[in-house]
Amino acid sequence: MGNQQLGKDQIRELQMDTKQKLSKKDIEKYHKFWFELIPNGQMTRETFPKFAQYAMPNAPSDAQLDYLFRAMDKDGNGTITFKEFLIFQSITAPSNTSLNPEELIDLAFAMYDEDGDGYVSKEGLSFFKFFLQRLTHF
């Protein structure tokens, strides 16, 4: 997907990918936001602070950025694509459905269970709560 207008089919596909949780309007809005921010659409850890300043205006620490990046980089390949960004948005800020607690818990684990042992610290969870409140703003 390049930096151009979204086609009808693309939007439909993205709506499927995000389980119909985002409206066409949302997808277009996020698309504009994402490609203005990162013209080639591929967010790396180096360029990630550009995004994070919108998501978390209170100057997040490097560790917090690492958490967030890990949660958004669903396939763990070191790049966040527009689709991965959208999936993240659809979980944290769905427009058509309400928040799904199970998906949020999965996301919290993706962020905080660094060693994959199935446990998340209390600090991790309280930060996650704080972070969710921030995220729905844009």
Q: Residues 5, 40, 58, 77: which binds Ca ion (CB under 5 A)?
A: 77
Q: Residues 46, 75, 102, 115: which binds Ca ion (CB under 5 A)?
A: 75
Binding mask of the shown chain, residues 96 to 115, with x at each position contacting Ca ion by CB under 5 A? --------------------
Rule CB under 5 A: is residue 5 a binding residue for Ca ion? no
Write down the H helix ranges in the chain.
Answer: 8-17, 24-37, 48-55, 62-72, 82-92, 101-112, 122-135
Q: Which is nearer to Ca ion, 26 or 73 (CB)?
A: 73
> Minimum distance between the CB of residue 87 and Ca ion, rounded to whole angstroms?
10
Q: Is 96:22 a contact under the CB 8 Å cutoff?
A: yes
Please report, to the nearest 10 degrees, the dihedral formed by the alpha carbons of residues 16, 97, 76, 34 taken in order: 80
Q: Is 56:134 a contact under the CB 8 Å cutoff?
A: yes
Task: List contacts with Ca ion (CB under 5 A).
Answer: 73, 75, 77, 79
